[in-house]
Structure 1
Amino acid sequence: MITKSKHKDGLCGSSREQLHARIGRELFLYTQRRELGCRNFCYTNPHRIVDDYASQLMPQLFQEKEYRLGQINKIFSSQWLNTKQIVFGTKCNKLEVLDLNTGNLDHIPSLKSSNNSVPASCPCGIHSIAVNPSKTLLATGAENTNDLAVYKLPTFDPVCVGERAHNDWIFDICWLDDEFLVTGSRDSHLGLWRIDGFDDVDSSPLNSLQVPEYSITSPLLVKECTDARKVRALAYHDERKELAVLSLNAYFHIWDVETFKMVSNSFLEGGIRSVSFHEDIITIGTGTGHILFFDLKGGKYLESGCGSFLWHWFLGPKFQLHDENYMGFFMHQYNQEFPNAIYTHQYDDSGTRLFVAGGPLPAGLWGNYAGLWS
């Protein structure tokens, strides 16, 4: 459902109109100079002009296609596999591939750790899925939620399970290149891994027709993230060779990946559930079921109409399981349905489709939401 909320200042969106007018002039000048045969165009990349304009308009053009996923509990993470498939991980520790055309689900078996691995207490699902740059490997959580699992793409053949880095849930995974990746955990530590040859490491205890044999490996390095209380999110800047680390006590840390040392940290305020970049638009998923769009060039949220309203989407309750926990506590105390937190959202390569997923924010509620906006 698409809704609008009143903007605080109530001003007309003159800056937005000026931006649209500027982009329109740029397109006109480019086409005129091209027709006149001018060699030196004002812009060497005309696609960027169109992309800027499209990224401004796209959120207002999206329409929702919702998927019914049964009694899956809370979708925490997702990644595009190709133009018609999404892989996602859930709080109930399921790894599923969703066919966006048919709505069918294919279950991917979780990889078991060795007997030497000590599982985290109170396991809580698959919080992260990451695909390497060449799209040949996928990393996520293993059956023990403090261990790493790596699969080959597109077949999902198991490659390895990574152990002995964390004693609590893996919250996020970030590839540095096609071989090296970093895991961030609820235990406030970072693990550096190399996913390469496995001829000299232990073999898995499981060997069956359903799950082929795979390797057991250990991290290259494990380091504590100083001042962090539970590492929650990771992002890598390839040109700067820096890793951004966000912790649950609202600290933002910068690590040098070549030395694997922290170089700075700072305190932030506020909180969100998911964030992504597309061109100059930041898409933000909240715990209240809202998706907001922030324009980096304009320095404000996208607006609707004359600018007196913020443009955003609001997701209703969708599927929620009315089990004994809901009936005995939430229904009588709150007497309401709860909106779904947007735990994950991912644009496809074209930027014209956005997969959005999540579930009810209270830990005691069981439910899910998954939708394709295009």
Structure 2
Amino acid sequence: MANRRARRRHRHQRRAATARPPPTTAQEQTGSRKRSAPSQGLADGEGPLLPKRERRPATRRSVVHYLKCREVGRWGPAGLPGFESELRGYTVQRLPELLTERQLNLGTVNKVFASQWLNSRQVVCGTKCNTLFVVDVQSDHITRIPLMRDKDAGLAQARRNCGIHAIELNPSKTLLATSGKNPNSLAIYRLPTLDPLCLGDRHGHKDWIFAIAWLSDTVAVSGSRDGTVALWRMDPDMFDGTIAWHSEVGLPIYAHIRPRDVQTIPRVSTNPSNRKVRALAFSGKNQELGAVSLDGYFHLWKVRSTLSRLLSIRLPYFRDNVCLTYCDEMSVYAVGSHSHVSFLDLRQGQQNIPPLCSREGGMGVRSLSFYHHLITVGTGQGSLLFYDIRAQKFLEGRAPTGLDSALEPAGRKLKLDCGRGWLNQDDFWFNYFGGMEELPSALYTHCYNWPEMKLFVGGGPLPAGLHGNYAGFWS
């Protein structure tokens, strides 16, 4: 019996010795047999050993506590489960009323029509006077970007005063699309250097480019006043410097490309001159392109190697339809008109979301943008409005109910009024407006830098004959 017990004890010790990992250097020095933490980040168990991470309590944290812990890196990138999206929703609701304006000095350029953030400090802008420039929102420093010229010099002089109406960055922010010296041509610049890459001036549009949308990193669509949409594909060989380069005399050399497909807006109106494409918006989820024409129609195109039209819808408000945006989260198009914003959810029907009326003296909707469920409306009267599409109401301003109380909804529409900007007080201004100085600036463009919680707004006087500009940095 004693021999059997001894053999059983011997087998148990042998199995334990086989299963135990060999001692590390630290264990050999100290003689400790405590289990070490598994190695992380290096192959073959090399590198420092990390202590076992403590389990966090499942208690709910406040926003202040979360932000302080994130500053010191306590929680790491994961944060609390679901807290990032909750904090983002809170920020979307509260950010607009926390923004304050600082006007930027743009000199004497005329009416900022388009804008996009390049980085945390720089915004690229296009104006009615056909100027492309980058402004530093911290220092007000302006850098002008030379425009690309057509091969045919005669075309470059055609309708030279229409301006730059569209600026768009591709998804990876490596290319920028806008119009050239000739506003009918599509110009592509390389980022971040803004070197000229290629110009779409052959067999393309015969009138001004009003809108641009990127379908991928190398495919873009442009919409024109001539009633056409054109699909352009950039050759990857352009990106390695084999085509776009600088000659010995210092003049930029860039490729001249032609569209892969051109489609015409259908003749659904009695006035063909109003079939001008005014705005574009792309749905990456459905691979569909929405377009708004000035005859009061919304058109939907299926995007493949070419463009195939799916439908055309008469809009409920068809006066001055000049802006369009798309919400990926809710699969909804929003169209801005003279006094309304119309919503098109094509999965549920044409008009299942009630339109919002933004009428304030016939101001007009001049720019739109979506961020999650919040839509920002830039008006012709120099104000920004914010609409929650889920709650179907405008954001309300907040006011304190007492000296020591928290802010409560004040029951009034939240509206950010922009500064007047600069106005050229010429003979036209004096003769037609009697020297009136209280002329608001129409907000033709606005763009968010949400990671930095910043907003750029650009525009100028609404009457066509007036010359002036407005640019504001809101943070």
Q: TM-score if structure 2 supplies the norm length?
A: 0.66
Q: 2:439 aligns with which of 334, 338, 343?
A: 338
Question: Residues 118 and 167 of structure 1 are in contact (CA less than 8 Å); yes or no, is this contact kept in structure 2?
Answer: no
How do 1:233-252 residues align onto structure 2 when only pairs under 5 Å count? Answer: 233-252=279-298
Question: Residues 387 and 395 of structure 2 are in contact (CA less than 8 Å); yes or no, is this contact kept in structure 1?
Answer: yes
Higher RCO, 1 vs 2 (CA within 8 Å, ≥6 residues apart)? 1
Residue matched to 1:89: 126
Residue matched to 2:429: 326
Residue matched to 2:187: 149
Deviates more, 1:314-323 or 1:80-89: 314-323
Question: Residues 109 and 468 of structure 2 are in contact (CA less than 8 Å); yes or no, is this contact kept in structure 1?
Answer: yes
Residue matched to 1:185: 224
Question: Separation in 2 of the partners of 1:108 and 1:324?
Answer: 31
Question: Separation in 2 of the partners of 1:344 and 1:208?
Answer: 39
Does 2:419 match 1:372?
no
Question: Residues 101 and 418 of structure 2 are in contact (CA less than 8 Å); yes or no, is this contact kept in structure 1?
Answer: no
The letter for the 2-side match of 1:235 is A
Question: Residues 51 and 279 of structure 1 are in contact (CA less than 8 Å); yes or no, is this contact kept in structure 2?
Answer: no
Does 2:241 match 1:140?
no
3-state secondary structure, aligned to 1:144: coil
Does 2:207 match 1:104?
no
Residue matched to 2:30: none
3-state secondary structure, aligned to 1:284: strand
Question: Separation in 1 of the partners of 2:474 and 2:93?
Answer: 15
Deviates more, 1:94-103 or 1:270-279: 270-279
How do 1:349-368 residues align onto structure 2 when only pairs under 5 Å count? Answer: 349-350=450-451, 352-368=453-469
Q: 2:367 aligns with which of 256, 270, 274?
A: 274
Residue matched to 1:260: 307
Question: Residues 158 and 211 of structure 1 are in contact (CA less than 8 Å); yes or no, is this contact kept in structure 2?
Answer: no
Deviates more, 1:216-225 or 1:250-259: 250-259
3-state secondary structure, aligned to 1:118: helix
RMSD of equivalent CA atoms: 2.3
Question: Residues 418 and 472 of structure 2 are in contact (CA less than 8 Å); yes or no, is this contact kept in structure 1?
Answer: no
CA deviation profile, 1:33-56 (whole Å, cap 9, x unmatched)? xxxxxxxxxx95321111111111
Identical aligned residues as a percent: 42
Question: Separation in 2 of the partners of 1:194 and 1:340?
Answer: 37
Cα 1:189/1:282, change in 2 over 3 Å: same
The letter for the 1-side match of 2:99 is F
How do 1:193-232 residues align onto structure 2 when only pairs under 5 Å count? Answer: 193-197=232-236, 211-226=251-266, 227=268, 229-232=275-278
Unmatched segments (≥5 aa) in structure 2: 1-57, 63-79, 269-273, 318-336, 339-364, 399-408
CA deviation profile, 1:310-350 (whole Å, cap 9, x unmatched)? 00112242200011221232226xx4532111100000141
What is the Cα deviation at residue 209 of structure 1? 5.2
> How many residues are treated as equivalent by the alignment?
331
3-state secondary structure, aligned to 1:350: helix
How do 1:22-171 residues align onto structure 2 when only pairs under 5 Å count? Answer: 30-31=60-61, 44-115=81-152, 118-119=155-156, 120-121=158-159, 123-163=161-201, 164-171=203-210
Question: Separation in 1 of the partners of 2:394 and 2:250?
Answer: 48
Q: 1:176 aligns with which of 196, 199, 215?
A: 215
CA deviation profile, 1:174-210 (whole Å, cap 9, x unmatched)? 11001100000111100000012468xxx89x96755
CA deviation profile, 1:285-317 (whole Å, cap 9, x unmatched)? 111112110012211110124453100112242
3-state secondary structure, aligned to 2:88: helix
Residue matched to 1:8: none
Unmatched segments (≥5 aa) in structure 1: 1-27, 33-42
Cα 1:351/1:117, change in 2 over 3 Å: farther
The letter for the 2-side match of 1:176 is L
Question: Residues 123 and 144 of structure 1 are in contact (CA less than 8 Å); yes or no, is this contact kept in structure 2?
Answer: no
Question: Separation in 2 of the partners of 1:292 and 1:49?
Answer: 23
Question: Separation in 1 of the partners of 2:164 and 2:424?
Answer: 20
What is the Cα deviation at residue 87 of structure 1? 0.4
Question: Separation in 1 of the partners of 2:81 and 2:280?
Answer: 34
3-state secondary structure, aligned to 1:56: helix
Question: Separation in 2 of the partners of 1:44 and 1:267?
Answer: 44
Residue matched to 1:284: 377
Q: TM-score if structure 1 supplies the norm length?
A: 0.83
